[in-house]
Structures are given as C-alpha cells and as structure tokens.
Amino acid sequence: MLYLPKKLFLFLSCIVMLSVNYNNSASVTAANSIGLNYGLLGDNLPSPSNVINLYKSIGITKIRIFDPNTEVLNALRGHRDIEVTVGVKDQDLAALAASEEAVKGWFAANIESYLADVNIAFITIGNEVIPGPIGPQVLPVMQSLTNLVKSRNLPILISTVVAMSNLEQSYPPSAGMFTSQAREQLVPVLKLLSQTSTPILVNIYPYFPYASDPVNIPLNYATFNTEAILVQDGPLGYSNMFEAIFDAFVWAMEKEGVKDLPMVVSETGWPSAGNGNFTTPDIASTYNRNFVRHIASGKGTPKRPNKGIDGFLFATFNENQKPVGTEQNFGLYNPSDMKPIYKLF
C-alpha cells in the first residue's frame, strides 16, 4: 500500500501539466517539469513495476536511470507517458569509443527492443566522467550515437552528464570559467551539442559547498529559503546558490564561444541524514520543496530570465549499497515500505 500525500500528488501533477517535450527538430525548448532519478544501488528496493506505479501515482512523467537495466525498461513497456533518460555505463565507454560498430551493437542489445513501447528521450554517455581519465571517450561515443539516431530519424537526444568540478572558478557567477582539463574534454562536447541545441546535463548540489563552509554560506541561501539578494554580481542579483552555480556554468560556456545551449539539471537534492545538523529531514524537505517551486515558476535564473529549467531530483529511494553517510540518504522514499521520508508539502 503506497502512502502518497494528496498535496504532493496535486502539486507534482500541476508541474507535469506545464511540461513541454524536447524534440529532435530545430531547437530545444526548456520544460518546467520535475523528474526523478531512479537509482538501483540497494538490496531492499521495491520491484520496478511498483516503482512505476509510484511515479504514475504522483504525476511524475520523467525519470532517469543510470544504465539500460532490463527489469526497469521491461516494467516501462506501455507507459509511454513517462520519458526515460538512459545512461551508458562508464565502464562501457572505452570499447564503444574505439568502434562505431560497437556502438551499433550496444544500441541493438540495450535500446532497440524498447523503441516501440518505451519512451526513451535521452541517452547519456557516462556520468560525471568529464573531466577525468576517461573523459576523452565521451565525444566519439556521443558522435557515433548521434549519427545512429539521426540516420534512423529517432526522437532520442544524445548528451552527457557533468558535475560542477568542471568549473575552475564559480564566484561571482560572471567569473565562471572551466578548468584546463574541462576546456580540453568538455568544450568539444558542448560544441557538438550546440549544433542541434541538445542540452548538456548538469548535476548541481548546493549542499556540498554549504556543508564545506557553513560559516560563510547562509543556510537560507543554500536552500532557496530567502528572497533577499545575498550576492550582487554587476546588474545580476542572487538570492540562492543554485542559480549562482547554474549561471556560473552558463558564463563559463559563453567564454568558450558556446552561447544559448540548453541545460538540464540531471541531479539535485539534499540528504536527510548522514552529516549531523546539516542533513535533517526538515532541511532536505525545504531544499527539495523550494527547488520544485522554482522549476514550476518557469522564471529561470538571473542570467537566463524567463527560460524555464528542466530538472531531476536525486533520488527516489535511499540506497543502502551506496557509501555509508550522506550518499545513502538522498532519497525521497523509504524503499522498504515506499513511504515518504519527510513531508514535502
């Protein structure tokens, strides 16, 4: 029996009704809708079919999985109202980067059989591997998969997921710039994406800078919980850290000649336990609730006003096979009984 607060259902349903789908035609329009990350690093998780029922119960129409898990994809058959982002495993990148035929084989084995009855919207090449030792493998795999879906006229977007470790500087936002390794590995990817206005997927976690410097970073600023401008950056004023980080990445892209490229927030969230008073259910619910409201508002950021943001909360469940501590406590639901860990609304 699922415990689903009526207010949560109504709120998320309203957000979903604002959704504007991506397409492979000319340009991509940002959507004002919330998705959920569906991680599988737990030994007590509900069955995929029960999880899909949960998503439908609360009006979620977009999910992200980290690899082409057959149980999850099979459970999604017939549920074309749910858009799915599917990840390519990091450990698969080396073989795929070496051979276009390997990419075709991966697609045939992992995606092909689901095209008719699963709504696969994105395939992401690796998760936070740029910048890093296998970062250079992303571009050739992305190019091969892009060519494949384009040749077959499939409405699937090909991108990658990156963390804010690509930024050498992020404060103030207008000073945002990439590291030298990011310029080498990420910028060519961004330029490929810009040819079709395909979004880059970014993970943004204000929790981590707050937890590392709570003396100088106000909690209200980190959790969207104040309207006061706390960072003035020329003509742009910031009342929350999320927007400041987002815009720092935008500024960094512009300095590399990449302008107006859409960004999807593939992960954000706040742990409800694992680091003392920094990670309480109350703080986690405050951050996630305010993030949902921010997305629903469609107001964008100071650098990109009135351009709605498409975002995914991390994560659906607490996952007990992740590293002990905060990593196990980003979930919205307990896996054992599928009850909310805290009341969002």
pLDDT single digits (tens) 292-327:
999 999 999 999 998 999 999 999 999 999 999 999
The secondary structure element, H or E, covering residue 35 is strand 34-37
pLDDT single digits (tens) 36-73:
999 999 999 999 999 999 999 999 999 999 999 999 99
* DSSP result, 214-267: TTTS-HHHHTT---S--EEETTEEESSHHHHHHHHHHHHHHHTT--S--EEEEE
What pLDDT is attached to residue 32? 55
pLDDT at 17 over 60: no
Domains of the chain: 26-333 (3.20.20.80)
What pLDDT is attached to residue 167? 98
DSSP tally for the chain: helices H, then strands E: 11, 12
- For residue 278, count CB atoms less than 10 angstroms from its CB and return exposed for 0-12, middle for 13-18, buried for 19 or more: middle
Residues known to be catalytic? 128, 267
Q: What CA–CA distance (Å, rounded) separates 345 from 343?
A: 6
Average pLDDT estimate for 125-147: 98
Closest CA to 313 of 3, 15, 46: 15
pLDDT single digits (tens) 250-302:
999 999 999 999 999 999 999 999 999 999 999 999 999 999 999 999 999 99
Percent of the chain at pLDDT > 90 equals 89
What pLDDT is attached to residue 1? 34
Average pLDDT estimate for 203-215: 98
Burial 77-112 (b: 16+ CB within 10 A, else e): eebeebbbbbbbebebbeebbeebebbbebbeebbe
Q: Are 131 and 165 in contact (CB under 8 A)?
A: yes
What pLDDT is attached to residue 291? 97
Q: What CA–CA distance (Å, rounded) separates 266 from 160?
A: 10
pLDDT at 106 over 80: yes
What pLDDT is attached to residue 20? 33
pLDDT single digits (tens) 175-204:
999 999 999 999 999 999 999 999 999 999
What pLDDT is attached to residue 169? 97
Query: How far from each other are the two terminal CA atoms of the chain, in whole angstroms?
Result: 20
Q: What CA–CA distance (Å, rounded) separates 107 from 222?
A: 40
